[in-house]
Amino acid sequence: MKSLLAAAALLLAVSAADAQTLTKMTIATGVDPAFGQFYVAKEGGLFEKNGLDVQINTGPSGSAMVPFLVNDQVQAAYGSDLAGVINHQVDNKIVAVADGTYLAKWESVIGRNVESLEALKGKKVGVAFGTGAEIFWRRLLIARKLDPADYKLVNVEAPEMLAALERSDIDAFAVWEPWPSRALMSIKNTKVLATADGIYNNVNFVYMNRGWIEKNKATAEKFIKALCEANDMINNDRPAAAKLISKFLKMPLDLTTELMPKLEYDMDWQARSFNAIKDSEHLLVEQKKLKAPLDYSKYVYTDLLKAVRPANVKVTEPSK
């Protein structure tokens, strides 16, 4: 009995020592499978494998969490292409370090007691301002040759949209999954009015603070390595990855499994990455919200991915 107790005590001591050697990080993002690499790395033990003790803070959207990179409140965030450009204007040390996810079939407009976009004129449409959904909505109106002035946009965070639609505070919303699917499943008289197919597909990027990276280069590389390994699991063992994402999000596994094929998990840099950034830059120019032309040499930070997975850096300059 004494030997068993001694062995248990030794095991606890070793575990405690191991925990003390892990480097702590706090990262932030939203709550949907589009940020799957963060969840898989956490639930699958990949952060710990790479010597990191990572806490994930979640919010109403990935984009809403990017501002926490200012003053190192978090060490990494995962959000939309538009959110990165907006926050880089606030603090030019906020940089994009990897193209994480391509939202292939991810966004749609859901209406309640409304038959079409045309019938939605004069009504309230919920959109999370400063996210990829805002770009989608504007692109959709251009494609359908509809006047933006005919619609009353209401700034609503994604998790609040279902309740707002059910209360009739809004008549429709433009947003990413899983909220469209959840609305169709749980709210009567809802339907898809439009999808992003052929209109707009945005990219979610992983963001970090350049100042923190330069002071903690080895830790930053370990973090990106863990994300790349999580990306490998998502692409090579989808059932296992889906279970980890489902567990973290407390989302039904069947819904998680249904949604994941609508995404492309990348962790790379490619021409499409820069095109997404340029789309965001152009929108801010149109809205007269861009303080100065975006300096890609300061905003795009490929060094971490080059150090960990050089083959994933397929292009280093924006396509012309």
**8 Å CB contact between 33 and 260:** yes
Nearest to 63 by CA among 81, 39, 45: 81
Q: pLDDT value at position 20?
A: 61
Helices (H) and strands (E) in the chain, counts: 15, 11
Q: How far apart are CA 308 and CA 111, in angstroms?
A: 44
Tell me how far CA of residue 10 lies from CA of 7, 18, 258, in angstroms.
5, 12, 45
Instruction: Read off the pTM.
Output: 0.83
Identical topology for domains 20-103+201-312 and 107-195: yes
173-188 pLDDT, tens per residue?
A: 999 999 999 999 999 9
Fold of 20-103+201-312: D-Maltodextrin-Binding Protein; domain 2 (3.40.190)
Q: Which DSSP letter does residue 313 get?
A: B
Q: How far apart are CA 232 and CA 226, in angstroms?
A: 10
Q: Which residue has the tokens 């919010």?
A: 59
More confident residue, 291 or 219: 219
CATH of 107-195, one of 3.40.190.10, 2.40.50.140, 3.40.50.720, 3.40.640.10: 3.40.190.10
Residue 248 binned pLDDT confidence (cut-offs 50, 70, 90): very high
In the structure encoding, which two tokens stand for residue 157, read together?
Answer: 């965070």
**8 Å CB contact between 248 and 39:** yes
Residue 11 binned pLDDT confidence (cut-offs 50, 70, 90): very low
R_g of the chain computed on alpha carbons: 21
Nearest to 279 by CA among 48, 81, 72, 121: 81
**Phi, psi at 57, each rounded to 5°:** -95, 135
SS3 content of the chain, % helix, strand, coil (to 5): 50, 20, 25
132-167 pLDDT, tens per residue?
A: 888 899 989 999 999 999 999 999 999 999 999 999
In the structure encoding, which two tokens stand for residue 231, read together?
Answer: 């990306």
Tell me how far CA of residue 131 lies from CA of 24, 29, 63, 65, 255, in angstroms.
29, 13, 6, 11, 23
Average of per-residue pLDDT across 66-92 = 95
Q: pLDDT value at position 7?
A: 43
Nearest to 246 by CA among 234, 236, 235: 234
**How is the chain split into domains, by residue range?**
20-103+201-312, 107-195
In the structure encoding, which two tokens stand for residue 18, read together?
Answer: 């191991």
260-285 pLDDT, tens per residue?
A: 999 999 999 999 999 999 989 988 89
Report the half-sphere exposure of 238 (CA within 13 A, side-chain side): 13
**8 Å CB contact between 310 and 233:** no
Amino acid code (one letter) for 120 = L
Q: How far apart are CA 273 and CA 320, in angstroms?
A: 13
Average of per-residue pLDDT across 15-32 = 81
Q: What's the 3-state SS for 104-117?
A: CCCEEEEEECCCCC
> What does pLDDT average to over the chain?
92
* Residues β-bridged to residue 23: 52
C-beta pairs of 136-143 under 8 Å, 24+ apart in sequence: 136/107, 136/174, 136/196, 136/199, 136/200, 136/202, 137/109, 137/174, 138/283, 139/199, 139/200, 140/109, 140/174, 140/194, 140/196, 140/199, 140/200, 143/198, 143/199
